[in-house]
Amino acid sequence: MRVVAALLVLVVIWGVGLLAFASRVDQSTPPADPPVADGVVALTGASDARITAAMKLLETGKARRMLISGVNPQATRADIRGVAKATQRFYDCCVDLGFQAMDTVGNARETADWANANGFHSLILVTSDFHMPRAMLELQAALPDAAITPYAIRTNELDAKHWWRSREGMRRMTLEYVKYLVIMSREALAHLSGKPHHAPAPADAAP
């Protein structure tokens, strides 16, 4: 009975955590006037809104340079410029494309390399609302001394307000929550052991 009771308590705690996580995602909105940063980073995904939003931040002077992380290796600069709806002069001078990242961990490492190579200490992170909590954890682990401002974009990939009304919404939100917990556990263990999960990027890393 004690084992059953303990399991029930864990299930309740897990469920409450899921609801809190979903509420956090639902309340994620881009700041009306984000602070000016050294760079802005857009993480690629199913929605092009991330890239266009980041491009607008660059063009309005909220950052000096922009990284699009996780670009499809088959895409060209011209392809991405069309997606970003970018002004030619801003795109040519100030936009870098990252082709190495295949997942969120890769995004964080690619961003850290880029930030360190450019001497950046403050970033605006642009990604989808449901992806932002996990992306922030990874980026903070890769760049522990950087100031990172989240800029969450609402997308059609997940209805954060009514996620529980559809099987796909429940699946996606639950999966994202589980991934988030895994990263939190990983970072907690790394902190206890005194070993950071992400090794620091070399100072001369290529952008």
Q: Are 58 and 88 in contact (CB under 8 A)?
A: no
Task: State the Cα torsion 70-36-128-200 to the nearest 10°.
Answer: 50
How many angstroms from the chain centroid is the CA of residue 39? 14
- Per-residue pLDDT tens, the chain, 207 aa: give them: 777 788 888 888 988 989 998 998 888 888 889 999 999 999 987 778 899 999 999 999 999 999 999 999 999 999 999 988 888 999 999 999 999 999 999 999 999 999 999 999 999 999 999 999 999 999 999 999 999 999 999 887 788 888 888 898 899 999 999 999 998 888 888 777 776 555 444 433 333
Show the domains of the chain with their CATH numbers: 2-156+166-193 (3.40.50.620)
